[in-house]
Copies of this chain bind each other. A is one copy, B any other.
Amino acid sequence: MKNFENVSVIKQANIYFEGKVTSRTVLFNDGSRKTLGIMLPGDYEFGTAAAEVMEMLAGEMAVLLPGQSEWRTYKSGEQFEVPANSKFKLKVNTVVDYCCSYIE
């Protein structure tokens, strides 16, 4: 699916880490939401509220998921899940374009 059709988009961006991580929120008719985001190179830690599915649209990064001891690299076309109420770490080496789906 190249486009999200028949959705609402919140104009204002979500801005984190002085703009090195930013996203736009997309709202679907079924009440679900996703964010489309960009991460510039850097090391980040994020916390989840809802569980998340992170789909890589471009770029590559290493991810340390909660409860894991080894970093794993994900690249364009791949995805990973993060449990609700958890923390995960990222090492971003190239510009990453991603889509995050919230599982609520």
Contact = CB atoms under 8 A, between A and B. Distances in A.
Nearest to A92: B19
Contacts of A62: none
A18 B5 CA distance: 28
Given A22-B22, A40-B19, A3 B13 contact: no
The 9 closest A-B pairs by CB, nearest first: A19-B95, A13-B97, A22-B38, A4-B9, A3-B8, A5-B8, A19-B40, A3-B10, A24-B24
Interface of A: 1-13, 15, 18-20, 22, 24, 26-27, 36, 38, 40, 57-58, 95, 97, 99
14 contacts: A2-B10, A3-B11, A4-B8, A5-B8, A6-B6, A6-B7, A6-B8, A11-B36, A12-B57, A13-B58, A13-B97, A19-B38, A24-B36, A40-B40
